[in-house]
């Protein structure tokens, strides 16, 4: 490791420039957020916009407070979070397993290809009524919807990651007499790790779509339920609040995945 004192003046200037750039980015981000929230609040206070329709940051904070006071804040958050995470985990693991099976068998891949393509392009919300009738109106129905929305992309992304593995390495494994299971374990899984990480990032976004969409169709609780309910009774504060919390949660979950990726690809 080089000591900082050993760097040339030019290099130190370069480092400083890089650091300044970073600081500018971070400050600008914070400023942008504050500006948007501030303008929104001021416009609502001065009645430039109607806070009954648009709500306002202070009303959102008040709503969070009252939800917290009557003890339902974490209940709703918990329900939606549980549905999303459960759906996400099921979609990723089952999707990964299916992708493995499809990788192992060319024939199975060819047979199932058109079905996967059709299922991928089908708007999953069209299956809403069927899901309600088959599974009911509990949160298992919503988890099922979440899985449905994200699993196809999980399968397709992971499979294309498997298939993109360097052919020379496959020949090498074959020349050592490796069977499919060994090739999977020693080569395909580690080689396709970056593809898996990408899949997780896409899947986490889709899982949120699935769970909130599920709650729109059937639910008695959750953030999606609050949004729909708030819309129906014209409590836009509630709608905005739930949306705001969703932003935080979705961003947080993405952050966790990004952190895992950093750890894994180190």
Partner 1 sequence: MLEFKNISYTYHAKEGETTAVSDLNFTVENGQFVSVIGPSGCGKTTILSLAAGLLAPSSGEVIRGEGEFGYMLQRDALFPWRTVEGNIFLPLEVKKRNTAEKRARALELAEKYGLKDFLKKTPSQLSGGMRQRVALIRTLAAEPEILLLDEPFSALDYQTRLEVCDDVQRIIKSEKKTALLVTHDISEAIALSDKVVVLSARPATVVAEHKIDFGGNSPKSRRECGEFAATFEILRKELGI
Q: Please report whether residue 125 would count as binding partner 1 according to CB under 8 A.
A: no
Is 197 a binding residue for partner 1 by CB under 8 A? The answer is: no
CA 64 to chain centre: 23
Q: Name residues contacting partner 1, limited to 89-118 (CB under 8 A).
A: none
Distance CA 123, CA 149 (A): 8
Report the site for partner 1 in 137-176 (rule: CB under 8 A): 166, 168-169, 171-176
Decide if residue 1 touches partner 1 (CB under 8 A).
Answer: no
Judged by CB under 8 A, the residue of 71, 114, 123, 190 near partner 1 is: 190
Distances (CA, A) of 195 to 105, 170, 248, 261: 20, 18, 26, 11
| Alpha helical stretches, state H, 164-192 | 167-175, 180-183, 189-191
* CB of 204 closer than 8 Å to CB of 254: yes
Q: Hey, how many other C-beta atoms are within 10 angstroms of the C-beta on 202?
A: 15
CA atoms of 59 and 51, how far apart (whole Å): 9
Is 182 among the residues that bind partner 1 (CB under 8 A)?
yes
Q: How far is the CB of 224 from partner 1 (least distance, A)?
A: 40
| Identity of the residue, 103 or 225, whose beta carbon is nearer to partner 1 in the bound complex | 103
Q: Assess 16 for contact with partner 1 (CB under 8 A).
A: no
Q: Which stretch binds partner 1 (CB under 8 A): 6-14, 139-147, 185-193, 222-230?
A: 185-193
Binding site for partner 1 (CB under 8 A): 166, 168-169, 171-178, 182, 186-187, 190-191, 193
């Amino acid at each position: 490791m080089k000591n900082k004192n050993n760097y040339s003046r030019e290099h130190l200037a370069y480092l400083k420039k890089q650091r300044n750039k970073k600081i500018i980015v971070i400050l600008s981000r914070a400023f942008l957020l504050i500006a948007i929230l501030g303008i929104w609040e001021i416009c609502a206070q001065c009645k430039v916009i109607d806070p009954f329709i648009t709500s306002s940051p202070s009303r959102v904070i008040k709503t969070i407070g009252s939800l917290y006071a009557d003890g339902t804040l974490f209940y709703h958050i918990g329900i939606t979070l549980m549905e999303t995470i459960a759906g996400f985990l099921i979609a990723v693991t089952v999707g990964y397993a299916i992708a493995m099976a499809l990788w192992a068998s060319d024939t199975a891949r060819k047979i199932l290809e058109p079905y996967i393509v059709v299922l991928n392009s089908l708007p999953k919300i069209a299956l809403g009524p069927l899901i309600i009738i088959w599974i009911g109106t509990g949160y298992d129905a919503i988890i099922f919807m979440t899985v449905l929305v994200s699993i196809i992309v999980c399968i397709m992304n992971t499979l294309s990651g498997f298939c993109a593995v360097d052919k020379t390495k496959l020949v090498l494994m074959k020349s050592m007499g490796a069977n499919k299971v060994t090739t999977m374990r020693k080569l395909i899984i580690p080689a396709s790790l970056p593809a898996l990480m990408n899949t997780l990032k896409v899947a986490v976004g889709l899982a949120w779509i699935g769970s909130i969409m599920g709650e729109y169709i059937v639910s008695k609780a959750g953030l999606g339920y609050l949004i729909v309910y708030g819309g129906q009774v014209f409590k836009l504060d509630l709608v905005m609040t739930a949306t705001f919390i969703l932003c935080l949660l979705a961003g947080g979950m993405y952050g966790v995945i990004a952190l895992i990726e950093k750890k894994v690809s180190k």
